[in-house]
Amino acid sequence: MLTLSHVSTRYGSIQALTDVSLEVEKGSVATLIGANGAGKSTALRSIMGLCQPHAGEILFEGRKLNKIPTHRIAAMGIALVPEGRAVFANLTVLENLELGGYLQRDGKRLRLDIDHVYEVFPRLKERMAQMAGTLSGGEQQMLAIGRALMAHPRLLLLDEPSLGLAPLMVHAIFDAVDRINREGATVLLVEQNANLALKRSRKAYVLETGRIIMQGDSADLAKDPRVQEAYLGE
Amino acid sequence: MESFLQQLINGISLGSIYALVALGYTMVYGVLRLINFAHGDVYMLGAYFGFYLSRILQGRTPYHLLDAALVMFLSMLGCAICGLLMERFAYRPVRRASRLTMLIIAIGLSLLIENAGQLIFGANPKFFPQLIPESHIKLGGLMLTNQQVIVLLTAVTLMILLNLFIYRSRTGKAMRAVSFNMDAAKLMGIDTDRIIALTFALGSALAAAGGILVSINIPGIDPLMGVMTGLKAFVAAVLGGIGNIFGAVLGGLILGLAEVMVAGYGSSTYRDAIAFLILIVILLFKPAGLLGKGAVEKV
Ligand SMILES: Nc1ncnc2c1ncn2[C@@H]1O[C@H](COP(=O)(O)OP(=O)(O)OP(=O)(O)O)[C@@H](O)[C@H]1O
Ligand SMILES: [Mg+2]
């Protein structure tokens, strides 16, 4: 469904991704793990066209994404839940969701989509009139995911959804991701919490200073001593 | 007392014009974090569009008000197009460059428009035709002209419409999203280039309205008329908290009132100075402006 082949991206003179190749199968959950500054967010931003790779090719359902503006990529059916959530703090929860459904011009369908998000995250319904900036971190993460769901993405990219959340909240978030995946969306999950990410995914890639250094089935990688030492703290 | 009320109305009237121009500064700042120094010159262009259109259109319809409305509408449209051109050819190419680059472009563009204006329109002031014959309205002890009333009503109507657009429409919501976080807005599928262009168009149309409303009250127009008004409207935007649309309106009103009161009760020599005094005070004590940063929504 999503293929990166030999993708390299840099910020000015800083090389953030070097020759990255990966593949996400339709219907699966794949994960990309790595330490701070490994280039995980850059990989997701490159897919969304928020930064431009200077080499390599990104294909989504057979269509090349390079050079396509971000809003068109979003319209093609990919949603990114960005690092740090980036909810629109000065807008209400409801307005945030409406913006998530920006491309849905049919008001009735929009209402139905919002109801669906409220069903996945009942907490959001209670807070719908509240400014998004005043939500707790976990609620903001729910909102960011809910907002992404509004577009009915076929591919959902998640950038460190567990960041800064209490374990209970992390599990709630990941259960929701499971549900979203069962309902048909393919998921690419970026995480520093490797333990969790490897448990919740089928395939995994390990990124280190911009290069993929390991890849394989998540279950196998979880057992790999190098991964255990470097990322699982065992 | 009556003279105070009279001054109050004059102040609000002037202030609402500053507010119209200040809105353009603040909206563009909201989406691009750019002070569009050429904005005052768009206000001047609006007055000149009005001037030439009046010559063509005056007396074409059975009603003076309809003439005036037509002139106003077409001038706003003309300036909206100027705003679009400015965005497309001056600012978009340097959007990824440093802020300093953008600022220099803005100043250069402003000088370009002012000098081109002198070349094309002539440097001498022109007399703005009287679109609506003056008549007087007595309100208790107050003496108003119908023109003052029209200016005030038009300015208020435009601000209400803008407010409805920004807070009620889908595109207005997109505009608020862009001003809050451009990348996140793109992720929602919002064509941010379009929204930015629209912001320039809207701001420029409001500036044109300001230019014409001023010319209805004070009919002398010249190619440099945008310099002082532009600066004052900029001060109004900073005073209210740049990026904040309610701030722009509030700042405009305060500035207009202050100016009229200083001229009325102090000395009219200082009427222009008050704006800059306010700017200095606000920069010293509340650099984010009255409603700036987090207090109310930015656009
Ligand atoms: N806008 C930018 N300008 C310059 N360098 C950047 C920029 N964004 C990221 N980088 C650099 O690119 C590299 C990869 O950054 P990236 O944000 O992709 O890492 P990450 O794996 O997401 O890290 P984290 O886990 O901390 O979020 C880092 O060295 C970072 O300093
Ligand atoms: Mg990151």
Segments of chain A scoring below 70 in pLDDT: 233-234
Partners of residue B293 in chain A, C-beta under 8 Å = none
Q: Report if residue B57 sits inside a domain.
A: yes
Partners of residue A74 in chain B, C-beta under 8 Å = 186-189
Pocket probe for ligand 1: among A4, A7, A11, the residue whose CB has the most ligand atoms within 8 Å is: A11
pLDDT tens column, A77-120: 999 999 998 999 989 999 999 999 999 999 999 999 999 999 99
Q: What is the whole-number distance in angstroms between the Cα of residue A124 and the centre of ligand 2?
A: 25
Q: Report if residue B66 sits inside a domain.
A: yes
Enclosing domain of residue B199: 25-226
Partners of residue B298 in chain A, C-beta under 8 Å = 90
Count of CB pairs separated by less than 8 Å, A with B:
66
Q: Report if residue B290 sits inside a domain.
A: no
Give chain B's mean pLDDT: 92
Partners of residue B174 in chain A, C-beta under 8 Å = 99, 102
Q: Report if residue B259 sits inside a domain.
A: no
Q: Which bound ligand lies closest to the C-alpha atom of B183?
A: 1
Answer whether residue B1 shows pLDDT above 70: no
The residue assigned the tokens 């839940």 is A81
**Which has the higher per-residue pLDDT, A226 or B102?**
B102
Q: What are phi and psi of B76, to 5 degrees?
A: -60, -40
Enclosing domain of residue A37: 2-231
Q: Report if residue B141 sits inside a domain.
A: yes
pLDDT number for residue A234? 52
Answer whether residue B67 shows pLDDT above 60: yes
Nearest Cα residue to atom 6 of ligand 1: A11
Helices then strands, counting H and E runs in chain B, come out as 11, 4
Q: Report if residue B298 sits inside a domain.
A: no
pLDDT tens column, B266-281: 888 888 888 889 889 9
Is the C-alpha dihedral spanning B139, B145, B149, B152 positive or negative? negative
Contact A99 B186 (CB under 8 A): no
Chain B nearest-CA distance from A31, in A, is: 21
Domains held by chain B: number = 1
Q: What is the ipTM of this complex?
A: 0.94
Q: What angle do CA B108, B79, B53 make, to 5 degrees?
A: 125
Tell me the residues surrounding ligand 2 (ion) with CB < 5 Å.
A 41, 83
Chain A nearest-CA distance from B147, in A, is: 39
Q: Pick from B17, B11, B10, B7: which is nearest to B154 by CA?
A: B17
Partners of residue A102 in chain B, C-beta under 8 Å = 170, 174, 188-190
Give the containing element (helix H, strand E) for A18: strand A14-24
Comparing CB atoms, the residue among B184, B189, B192 nearest residue A82 is: B184
Nearest Cα residue to atom 28 of ligand 1: A37
Q: What is the whole-number distance in angstroms between the Cα of residue A230 and the centre of ligand 1?
A: 19
Distance, CA of A7 to CA of B185 (rounded, Å)? 25
Residues with Cβ within 6 A of ligand 1?
A 11, 14, 16, 34, 36-42, 83, 192
**Average of per-residue pLDDT across B75-99:** 95
Domains held by chain A: number = 1
Q: Report if residue B250 sits inside a domain.
A: no
Nearest chain B residue to A79 by CA: give it. Answer: B187
Q: Which bound ligand lies closest to the C-alpha atom of A16?
A: 1
- B177 to chain A, any CB pair closer than 8 A? The answer is yes
Q: Residue B58 burial by CB count (10 A; 0-12/13-18/19+): exposed, middle or buried?
A: middle
pLDDT number for residue B60? 86
Q: What is the pTM of this model?
A: 0.92
pLDDT number for residue B294? 45
pLDDT tens column, B207-224: 999 999 999 988 899 999
Secondary structure (DSSP) of A37-81:
TSSHHHHHHHHHTSS--SEEEEEETTEE-TT--HHHHHHTTEEEE
CATH number at residue A227: 3.40.50.300
pLDDT number for residue B293? 67
Q: Report if residue B119 sits inside a domain.
A: yes
